[in-house]
Amino acid sequence: MNALSDCELAAGHLNNMDEKALLGVKNGRISVIDQERCGADGACAMICPVDAIRLVKKEVE
């Protein structure tokens, strides 16, 4: 089950006006594509119904 098959699972399903993706999936790993748009509040991890998103603290250059 993913956001393409069920829009209610998409973290930003109410904000569908944005054309640029915030999160991306590569090799089964979810990562932030646009660091400037990330609120760094952990909302995506909190609302993920399958616990697929985990926060990893990184230093931003």
pLDDT in tens, 2-23: 555 555 555 555 454 455 666 7
Residues in the chain: 61
CA 23, CA 34: separation in Å to the nearest integer? 7
> Can you give the residue ranges of every domain in the chain?
1-61
Whole-number pLDDT of residue 1: 45
| Largest CA-CA distance found in the chain, in angstroms, rounded | 36
pLDDT in tens, 24-59: 777 877 776 676 777 778 888 888 888 877 777 777
Whole-number pLDDT of residue 43: 84
pTM tops 0.85: no
